[in-house]
Chain A
Amino acid sequence: MKMLLKRLSPFAPDHSGAVSVLFELGGLIVICDAGGCTGNICGFDEPRWFTSKCALFSAALRDMDAILGRDEHLVRKTAAALEDTGSEFSALISTPVPAVIATDFKALKRMTERRTGKPVLAISAAGTGLYDSGAETAYLELMQVFAIETLPVEQGRAGVLGVTPLDFSRIDAGTVVAESFRKNGWKDVYCYGMGAGLETIRTASAAEKNFVVSPSGLAAAEYLKKTFGTPYEVCCPYLPETLEKELGSLTGKKVLVIHQQFAGNEIRKLVGKNVIVSSFFRMEKEWMEPGDIQFSGEEAFLEHFANEKYDAVIGDPKFKHLVAHAAERFIPFCHFAVSGQLEEGQTI
């Protein structure tokens, strides 16, 4: 049955993706839920939460809030928390509850802005989508709200979109990805949301070029291109060292990668055209090769491996037991959005 998971467990949802983009930016993050979604995001999908402080709150919605649609109550609570925390902005992130009762997030944003006098990001995420769609909305909203001034372009400055722990399975992903770009000659590298603060987003128009390292960053890169003329390039310069070591032995073999699309494409760049890239997450047509696969769910995934054999499958360890019969070798490549596991050597 489609949408039935018997062997896998659910992947990181949209609102976790949104939080992963906003976590380090110093805003007041309000998850518009009854509490459980906040617990899931913090306790499972946000590894930085255990080691650093963030003004992350649950709206603590109760049945009467949902029945009566008490938006004013939420605005009041948000304004009070903003006073407590002194945050520069607030972000209202949706969950299944507002989705079911059809909360008007644009109106909520206007009401909160009026009450607090500070910028508000409103991020629609029903909890039914995947993390990349929530991250995409968060990047776009951030740029639209804060990157408004056209500044002179600074040569050697690069902006990076799409770096989150959910994609890169590291709590220091911003550092290692930025370092990869610096090795390629870029002087000032800012991974928005990971290692680079709100000020770098405000001055995003000064970037000479933007790089998109996972599909969630594309919409914001397009926006920056349209608004400021900043060109962008899709690539993924960072792969774990242990994985890179394995790639040499795969030349000419039939290989399938299951990960986020741009990481898969990077592996193909290094190994050769024999690599097929697949994902449960967003696959952008423009960056797909013939034969690449987007799995629609567990059923399609199991069916694929019932009919295909590979010399090697590269993917999150969670997939290992499901593909063992169809792969000569399984090469682990952690994807936090799948298993909630960090790369080897990374601890919370």
Chain B
Amino acid sequence: MIELSSRDGVRKFSNYFWLAMLCLLAFTAIAPLFFIFAYLLVRGWAGLSFAFFTEIPKPVGEVGGGMANAITGSLVLMGLSTVFGVPLGLACGMALSELKKSAIAKMLRISIDLLTSVPSIVIGLFAYALVVVPMRGYSAWAGGFALSIVMVPIVARSTEEILKLVPASIHEAGLALGLPRWKVLIRLILPGVRAGVTTGILLALARVSGETAPLLFTAFSNSFGYRGLSAPTASLPVQIYTYATSHDETWRQLAWTGALVLVFVVFCLNLVTRILTRRTV
């Protein structure tokens, strides 16, 4: 038997020391959240008014104005990206789970994995080359396209994950009824995992609602409000960026309030997904 009691004291101490360190590290990880949140609330709240949502920005130096242009722009861009991105993402998710181990599914999986890791500014460059250059100008189309590329891998992965959870016996039960495979998938399986698929879509929306980099030289910005899908379009994140880096105090205030609104929307979307997943799992 090995007895080294003097060492046991050291071991006990180092045990408690390191466990305390881990607690401290965990605290350090979440502390910035409160730090950021407190500032957002305090600085953003000050500028929160009805006008913020209804008025377009005033020129530099004038007091007042709002971010109505950016809010409508963001809604348009998110709508466009949903129209492109969600069907494509869903289809990719179904392809991943249905084509299983075929070569094409493997390549698709690698593409989607890598697509997740592409820096968003690079996606902006791509949308610029593919849409802005041929259209000879910034447009909501280009911005929506860029955002949809951000959405596709998120929707695809979550759809695949959720389809993977469906037991094979349900597939088989449907097939045993004489239903073709596509009907089994669309009519039997998908309705059952609706909540899970919605979660993926909402998470993707939460993500793109805050994306700035892909919009800088695709949707660009404007200060008048919505002027059609082929025109430059403002968005909340880009506007926040522009105003935050300006030297005008009114504009900076708008940036803080815009950030508060943006974070509120993103958090709500996350909260909804959390409630949805809790109900399904």
Chain A partners chain B: no
* Chain A residues within CB distance 8 Å of chain B: none
* Chain B residues within CB distance 8 Å of chain A: none
